[in-house]
Structure 1
Amino acid sequence: MNYYQNDLPVDFMNVPISVFMDVERVESSAQRCLLVSDNPEILNSSSLPGRDGTLWHHIMRSDEQFVLHRIFGWHRNETGQPLQLGVTIQNISTSSNITIQQVQREILVQPINDQMIHAGQCLVKACLSDTMEHCIPVDKEAACQRTALIESVRLEHGYFAGFIYEFTVTRDSCADVMEYAVRTVVSRDMAADLRLVHSDPLPSYGTHPRGCWSYSEVHAAMPAYIVGTESVYRVCARTKMNGAAAADLLFTVSTSDIGEGAVDNFGQFGAIYSIDIPLHNHTEREAAIRIYLNPRGGAYAGAILVDGEVKGIPIMPNNTNVCLIAAIVVPPGESSFTCKLMTAGESNLPLGIYLVS
């Protein structure tokens, strides 16, 4: 695994708190489904009392010829013994076969330490830059009432696994509908067949997210930035400044395709967050502006795509930290700035996008 994307430098700045602006409107993209498996994050005798368990699942029924999927997962082994962790697809249909194609993934299995956020950065940089590794699934198809194994890994005690999978599930050309279940599963038995784990998900512990949604990309439109002013746009917020639900709060229990057992995904883990900021220059001259990332609530790390180039967002511990993501010249009239984000880790959102002339 080679990660060629550099990290942005972190600087210090007193970002004004009087120029906040909320997201104006959002749209979700339904091109790829998202399954987030981050709960229970810590696997131990309490969260995994039996031999096997389903960490999370997505029960699908579709009349499309194919369905695109993304899985974001993060689990820690504190059971005192090795675990087997895997991704499976159970074909529930009694009349049609399904195939698993175009599998790519990034997975990191490392000792539990205070540098785990770096692993999350590597995952989202690879996903956002479309440089994840191609993977040949263990089973390329699942016949009627059979289960396919995409991949399994050994997770030692004291280690964590962070992973992103993307793949396509395709139905027989003669079939009318696909019915299948995507699962992240675990077993204490290293010789167990993970294809046989069809149980309901383990109970959730704490606030780490899990759920499944029919979309995995957010397109957020911001109010216009006026050249000569300062603005801080609040993205991935839980609420607007007036206390109402944030416009970009899309990955919640209430919006999850399976709500029972789901946990709100406030950090939008596994999702690609697209930002569009209109730039209004009411003068007759070009104007230089600088655009920064600034965590407003607490620590943040991730990756950003600007002008076709992906850069890592290193850990920024608090709201005095900034990363310069663009220094641009704005022509007279109306133009715009766009970028895409993925979250690797956060302690308290929102994230600020700070524009200053």
Structure 2
Amino acid sequence: MTRTTPARPVSVEAVLPELAAHRGRTTRLHPRPGRPGVHDSHVGGPMLWPASEPWPVCHEPHPRENEGYRPDEIRTARATGTRPPSRPWPDVDPPGADRPVPLVGLAQFFRRDVPALGSGPEGTDVVQLFRCPFGHGPHLERRYHLRWRSAAETERAGRLLATAPEVPMLPGENELPEPCVLHPEEVDTYPWAEDDTLPAPLIARIDAWDDAQAASLGPGAPSYQYDLSIPPGWRVGGFPSWASTGPMTIDCASCATPMRLLLTAEGSEMDGGSHSWMPLEDRDPSLQGMASIRGGPSVSQPTRLRFGRDRDLHVFTCPSDPGHLPQWVLS
């Protein structure tokens, strides 16, 4: 089934014509629980990975955990609509510093499915995203890994990996992604309006328009940030949202080139302010607003993942040299 973003509550360029010069495009991925295969673009499905190639692992120290969740019990609980039980962490199996921890495969995107996918190293057309399931250091920072590959070369390499390695215990149930198929859809998008993301006079006009809408229509009034600029959920390209941190300058650590947003991962497909973006196919047409959204967690939190304290994970890459290390920003 396709996914169709509803028309915006207001035509933003009719209200603020200056925004036409800043219009961009983003590909909403609309993940929904399903059974993706190794040759599909997905979140949480099996990776296109040669059996002869080592799976990515984390070699850094990890804090000792007191309890955790078994991946098979998480899967069973989701299938039955229950909560998985937490288990004491086995003394014989700590996630400590003396052994590598296999990374969790979060997502895989083929350029054939997402034409707007940014450029990787020459000849590559698939990007794969991984995360260490454990925190690092006193602030429990996360470690991510990006892998580009050529689908054709991977197929020629021979046998593919049948089952990815995984840790026997996870520190949280939201470390295990729910396998999701994608429904890519391109939509218009506009920059976050704060600091110098747009010309100051235009930001002032946006703020004034928001205030006038709220005064006229009350708490349910449409707003630029929530309803007109950047859609929520997993998306490729477009503009980063800066709700938690405020706008940041992201330059390449190798060459100082301003980096480009490759993709955004988000734990939720909506919140109380952004529900107007929920696709038509996930709504009851006889109802209005949030009351019309149907499907429960499979629609509102389909991947079951969480990034930081319910933030967006932005992945930036270098446009001058895709081989330079990406940067990961939680905002």
Q: TM-score, normalised by structure 2?
A: 0.30
Structure 1 or 2: more strand by fraction? 1
TM-score by length of 1: 0.28
Higher share in helix: 2
